Chains A and B, each alone.
Chain A
Amino acid sequence: MTMRVYVPRDAAAVAVGADDVALAFAQAAAARGAAIEIIRNGSRGLCWLEPMVELSTAQGRIAFGPVTPADVPSLLDAMAGNGQHALRLGGTDEIPWLKRQTRLTFVRCGVVDPRSVDDYRAHGGYKGLERALTLSSDQILADVTTSGLRGRGGAGFPTGIKWKTVAQACADRKYIVCNADEGDSGTFADRMIMEGDPFVVIEGMTIAGITVGATKGYIYIRSEYPHAVEAMNAAIIAARRAGFLGKRIGGTKHEFDLEVRVGAGAYVCGEETSLLESLEGRRGIVRAKPPLPAHKGLFGRPSVINNVLSFAAIPFILDNGAKAYADFGMGRSRGTMPIQLAGNIRYGGLFETAFGVTLGELVDEIGGGTFTGREVRAVQVGGPLGAYFPRALFDTPFDYEAFAARDGLIGHGGIVVFDDTVDMVKQARFAMEFCAVESCGKCTPCRIGSTRGVETINKIINGERVAENLAVIEDLCNTMKFGSLCALGGFTPYPVMSALKHFREDFGGDLGPALARLQAAE
């Protein structure tokens, strides 16, 4: 009997040797004359166990990890025999870290063969589109709206309202644009789903297309993600062959096709209007809004622009109904969020769960604290523009409004953990440095303010007139926050001010007056 073994092709697994492991399996099996089928799946998201290899058995899949090429001969023995091995993790679905999750968007990630439309369909794929094809545009919009889905890129704008605006707009052409410019450090969910279950993104975009009357979609993927580019391109070709892209989708009158475009290393292009400029072949300079992209987007046409995870949530909603999605979550944050646990963390990876889980549960209980074994001192939530939270705020529930109420943001759901060796004044300076490097240059507060910010924090580090310079930082942050068009200049103050507020001991000097002003300003 042919042995079926899964070895992830996910970039995070490849980075820790998955390709070598796959090759070792093929070679070892050939040497023994054993029949083996190696499927390069996505990652299950348990990154500390990568490369995590799975064996398909009559009782379900059995996981082993982390595997090195040297383990392969003994693993093959175990797989052909009683299955016992030192690296055995048990039934994959029974691994507590995985079992505890609520996977709606990532349900197939790591399970299916990401190159196979048939495997996608065998696991419930394209059911959402099939149902959507029987509904009117208004009915689909009603589903998306009542699901409560909000933009997963970070801004949290209701997806249903965005789609409705585009559906109602009149134009000769409309576009669907997928923002896969996942530049935030600590985030990798877009990359994982594109590599592990690319068809769900294609299906979500196709549903958007038939809903608003667009026939063309672009997926803008950052150049730092070559594996995701390859996976999406392969999936688009496979979907076209199977009749799920192109003319007459699923045998209906609907037409929709997709193209991947690759970014060129500009963080600001994750901002939607900058991304549109870049797609049009220009410098990624942010546009003023209005007009909204929903009215005048790509090439001046009405465009739906959503994050990868927003599109990837759509098939579930259409297949299972809006209520099934909205039943999860808290307050105005409905459904699930694929949360990414990263940085100095013991059990890092992708954890999809309903909104409402607290930051402390995520970092301590699920993440297991730091991998260095030292105390967790700070966590940055929401990427380079997100606030640094101390342990005192670990009771904050994962929810758009709860984080905003504490001067933070959940952004794209990335959590970066730092231990007690972190120097928060350096992290504050890095936030300014990053903004200076990545600013598109349109808004003066962002372009100049970030450079002045670096200089001023350097003075603070050198102990020069600390209280006065902190006042300068505070003033700069306010100017950037209110004087920048987009979130780059507007949100860089979050990491800076949160570092100052919660970790003031790292800034030295007498901070009394500056802090009093800081607190009064809030």
Chain B
Amino acid sequence: MTVGYEPWDKARGAEIIAEHAGLEGATLVILHALQEAFGYVPEPAIPIVAEALNLSRAEVHGVFTFYHDFRKQPAGRHVLKLCRAEACQAAGGDRLAARAEARLGVSLGNTTADERVTLEPIYCLGLCATAPSAMLDGRLIGRLDEARIDALVAEAQR
């Protein structure tokens, strides 16, 4: 369970949803807010969102599953995202991604067995002139090399 997030609570979820339900096209805003609070979008929240926005559950589920950002279960304690887009590939990102996978013992898109680290690909952080780049729990890191990726992995495992 990622640190710093609240456990799912129906009343709290409903409160978050109600806070944004009046916006034009509120679905994404609400899903972001739920994920920010709970670390993922708990399944029981979907029907509450649907009800608040006068949509069907299927519609909300459809939106939730369309976007890569939204999680259906909590991530590991730390989330390490490695940019896998072309500019980072050109700067040696493939090798570094393979190194991170080997060190953590998981492939991109997975969480370590001890639930400490979720390793994910990301397609472009806009740091293409200081490539390769990564994001650890929201913190940006550019000009990655072997030493830096090892340090990041070690930090994420702590």
Residues of chain A whose beta carbon lies under 8 Å from any beta carbon of chain B: 11-12, 14-16, 47-48, 50, 182-188, 190-191, 223-227, 261-267, 278-284, 299, 340-345, 348-350, 371-372, 380, 384, 414, 416-419, 422, 427, 430, 434, 438, 440
Report if B37 contacts A (CB, 8 A).
no
Q: How far is the CB of B13 from chain A (nearest CB, A)?
A: 18
Q: How far is the CB of A179 from chain B (nearest CB, A)?
A: 14
Selected contact of A265 from candidates B26, B69, B91, CB within 8 Å? B69
Are the C-beta atoms of B133 and A15 separated by less than 8 Å?
Answer: yes
Nearest CB to that of B122 among chain A residues?
A224
For B123, what are the chain A residues with a Cβ–Cβ distance below 8 Å? 183, 185, 224, 267, 434, 438
Binds A, one of B60-68, B111-119, B150-158: B60-68
26 pairs from A and B in contact (CB 8 Å cutoff): A11-B125, A14-B140, A16-B142, A50-B130, A185-B85, A185-B86, A187-B124, A187-B128, A188-B128, A224-B122, A261-B29, A262-B29, A263-B69, A264-B68, A279-B25, A280-B24, A281-B26, A281-B53, A283-B62, A284-B66, A340-B129, A342-B90, A344-B90, A371-B91, A384-B86, A414-B87
Q: How far is the CB of B91 from chain A (nearest CB, A)?
A: 5
Given contacts A16-B143, A430-B89, A11 and B127 within 8 Å (CB-CB): yes
Selected contact of A224 from candidates B26, B31, B53, B124, CB within 8 Å? B124
For B25, what are the chain A residues with a Cβ–Cβ distance below 8 Å? 261, 279-282, 299
Known: A224-B122, A284-B67. 7 other contacts (CB 8 A): A15-B140, A191-B126, A223-B32, A266-B68, A282-B59, A343-B88, A371-B91
Residues of chain B whose beta carbon lies under 8 Å from any beta carbon of chain A: 24-29, 31-32, 53, 59, 62-63, 66-70, 85-92, 122-131, 133, 138, 140-143
Are the C-beta atoms of B131 and A342 separated by less than 8 Å?
Answer: yes
Given contacts A264-B28, A416-B90, A12 and B127 within 8 Å (CB-CB): yes
For A190, what are the chain B residues with a Cβ–Cβ distance below 8 Å? 126
Nearest CB to that of B88 among chain A residues?
A185
Are the C-beta atoms of A185 and B124 separated by less than 8 Å?
Answer: yes
In the complex, A183 Cα to B91 Cα: how many Å?
18
- With most chain A CB atoms within 10 A of its CB, the pick from B31, B59, B128, B131 is B128
The DSSP consensus for interface residues of chain B is loop
In the complex, A516 Cα to B88 Cα: how many Å?
34
Q: How far is the CB of B56 from chain A (nearest CB, A)?
A: 12
In the complex, A509 Cα to B73 Cα: how many Å?
46
Given contacts A261-B28, A416-B86, A343 and B131 within 8 Å (CB-CB): yes
Are the C-beta atoms of A344 and B128 separated by less than 8 Å?
Answer: no
Q: How far is the CB of A185 from chain B (nearest CB, A)?
A: 3
Are the C-beta atoms of B91 and A15 separated by less than 8 Å?
Answer: no
For B90, what are the chain A residues with a Cβ–Cβ distance below 8 Å? 342-344, 416-419, 422
For B69, what are the chain A residues with a Cβ–Cβ distance below 8 Å? 223, 263-265
- With most chain B CB atoms within 10 A of its CB, the pick from A185, A226, A266, A438 is A185
Are the C-beta atoms of B86 and A348 separated by less than 8 Å?
Answer: no
In the complex, A243 Cα to B129 Cα: how many Å?
37
Q: How far is the CB of B80 from chain A (nearest CB, A)?
A: 14
Q: How far is the CB of B117 from chain A (nearest CB, A)?
A: 19
8 residue pairs, one from A and one from B, having the closest CB atoms = A348-B129, A185-B85, A281-B27, A342-B128, A343-B90, A15-B142, A264-B67, A47-B129
Are the C-beta atoms of B68 and A187 separated by less than 8 Å?
Answer: no
Q: How far is the CB of B129 from chain A (nearest CB, A)?
A: 3
